[in-house]
A and B are shown apart, each in its own frame.
Chain A
Amino acid sequence: MSTAHSRTAARLMISPAVLLLLGWMIVPLSMTIWFSLLRYNLLMPGMETFIGLDNYRYFLTDPAFFAAFKNTIILVLGVLAITTIGGILLALLLDQPIWGQGVVRILTIAPFFVMPTVSALVWKNMFMNPVNGLFAHLAKSLGLQPFDFLSHAPLFSIILMVSWMWLPFAALILLTALQSLDREQMEAAEMDGAGPFARFFHITLPHVSRAATVVILIETIFLLSVFAEILVTTNGGPGYASTNITYLIYAQSLLQFDVGGGAAGGIVAVVLANIVAIFLMRMIGKNLDA
């Protein structure tokens, strides 16, 4: 089937997609690199001067960068921990024979389809608001002092909101993996006297490990770039308490108009994401049957 003729045709069919993605990567990325070497502020157009690596020095020594770096790691790892562990437990539960399984599945997956700005505003106002939120009502009815989530635990609150969206995703994928588990193998293990924990760690967990790595890969891609949830709830504050790298660069470029500094930050973000990506792709490359 693959004659020289069809190969040429195949190349022609693939090239638009490849060229578009190549352009999408190379053109803006080289512009970002170039801007990062300039003193370039949108409030002072025409005053751009070449300053070498100064933007990088400022960005990397800025205490805000360390805060944002730390917050990014806490946010990503926090959500990953909650959603993968919670996801496995939830998937195990949904895999049991239960009444109304279809409805339960539909209710469980629903949060994944809620757009980030809606979910963040609903959580911020209707649940976490210290005066009118449902949590405040609940605390008061129990005789407790309402807790101001977004001022006193901003990063934790954002982790909670983001996890709410990704837990159903993890559970759904892990459930799909669980359902392909060989029941006979499970029964054989049970006959041989393997307890529920032994069965979980020796049969179930290895079986879903591939799906779990995929969940971690996909979530990491999205979690490194959490933005809307921060923008509409805390604006990165108080101080830098809930600023992640994505939000920090956004603020520097589009709120302070410091294109040079923002671009340097952008390149730092790309390098960091690449380190994570190389690690993840190595872990996962074997798991994708291309």
Chain B
Amino acid sequence: MARAVTNRRKFIATLLAWTVAMLLFFPILWTFLTSFKTEAEAIASPPSFLFFDWTFENYSTVQERSNYARHFWNSVVISVGSTLLGLLVAVPAAWAMAFVPGKRTKDVLMWMLSTKMLPPVGVLIPIYLLFKQFGLLDTRTGMVIVLMLINLPIIVWMLYTYFKEIPGEILEAARMDGASLRDEIIHVLTPMAVPGIASTLLLNVILAWNEAFWTLNLTAAKAAPLTAFIASYSSPEGLFYAKLSAASTMAIAPIMILGWFSQKQLVRGLTFGAVK
């Protein structure tokens, strides 16, 4: 009897959860399906769901007309580059704050978080003019610098919460065994820190890949990553739903796969370690 009730409850919960999940996922699925239609089928009424002539034409058209691969590569360089540069600055900082905490460590961390509250539009004009002055407008170097700076607080925070979990006793034990500082860092600390650094890297690549304020304002034809390239579809000529879908699918697919792998780290990273 109790068993039957539990099973019925599980059935209803499953049905509800799947319905909500499918509704949330539907726009992505629809974009994916539309990318394999012809433009005429893409706007056909009533729309066909699966039974159309599947074609890969849109993908090649998008590449031929706008050199899609170039923008894709821009996205890769900008997101990975800014993250690596950010790690280079943040790893020592987070390390010092976690292992040699001072009286003001917490203040520094909170202050770093507060810089995230600075609305980007408040510094848009100076950054735009400085970039113009130094020839950084529409360059990948410029975007790597800006995205590194805006994500730096998150990188430091994430690393800090990971490093803080490395127990100090292990270091003492290693020292008792006669390990030098060098040995300590190479053989004890680094292996324990690598998973945290990897998760930080993953999450920040995702954030930088999808950043769409600075990339839209500071890039044009040359250095535009996918966020800015896709925006050019907002003033279309002729039929374009299928091509928009193909371009969109390629833009979101890689990051969605990374994202699915990093769900746990995402929660921890984006909540600054408050929710684990």
Contacts and interface: CB of A to CB of B under 8 A. Distances in A.
Interface of A: 1-2, 6-7, 9-11, 13-14, 16-18, 20-21, 24-25, 27-29, 31-32, 35, 90, 93-94, 96-101, 103-119, 121-127, 132, 134, 137, 140-141, 164, 167-169, 172-173, 176-177, 210-211, 214-215, 218, 221, 224-225, 227-228, 231-233, 245-246, 249-250, 253-254, 259, 262-263, 265-267, 269-270, 273-274, 276-277, 280-281, 284-285, 287-290
Nearest to B268: A176
A107 B241 CA distance: 23
Given A90-B20, A126-B34, A211-B274, A121 B248 contact: yes
| Chain B interface main SS type | helix
Contact of A116 (B89, B206, B227, B273): B227
Interface residues of B, number: 99
A32 B126 contact: yes
Interface stretch (B25-33, B52-60, B61-69, B191-199): B25-33
B270 A218 contact: yes
Given A96-B10, A273-B117, A288-B274, A17 B152 contact: yes
Contact of B252 (A100, A114, A254): A114
Contacts of B115: 21, 24-25
B173 to A, nearest CB: 13
B182 to A, nearest CB: 14
Given A6-B100, A115-B212, A108 B43 contact: no
Of the candidates A18, A21, A164, A265, the one having the most CB atoms from chain B within 10 angstroms of its own CB is A21
A115 B99 CA distance: 37
A6 to B, nearest CB: 5
Contacts of B126: 27-29, 31-32, 35
A132 B44 CA distance: 8
B28 A100 contact: no
Contacts of A6: 100
Contacts, number: 307
A273 B240 CA distance: 39
Contacts of A28: 123, 126-127, 130
A227 to B, nearest CB: 5
A235 B208 CA distance: 24
Contact of B121 (A17, A90, A116, A269): A269
Interface string B237-253: 00011001100100110
B2 to A, nearest CB: 14
24 contacts: A1-B100, A7-B102, A9-B96, A10-B96, A21-B115, A29-B122, A32-B123, A96-B10, A96-B17, A110-B24, A111-B25, A113-B252, A113-B255, A113-B256, A117-B230, A121-B230, A122-B27, A132-B45, A164-B24, A246-B121, A266-B122, A274-B117, A276-B117, A281-B117
A167 B122 contact: no
A273 B20 CA distance: 34
Contact of B92 (A16, A105, A266): A16
A31 B126 CA distance: 6
Nearest to B31: A122
A281 B171 CA distance: 34
Given A21-B149, A121-B234, A214 B92 contact: no
Given A96-B10, A233-B234, A273-B118, A107 B21 contact: yes
A108 B24 contact: yes
A117 B212 contact: yes
B266 interface: yes
B213 interface: yes
Given A10-B99, A246-B213, 4 more contacts: A24-B149, A172-B266, A211-B274, A253-B125
A127 B28 CA distance: 12
A270 B99 CA distance: 34
Contacts of B273: 288-289
Given A115-B226, A137-B46, A93 B244 contact: no
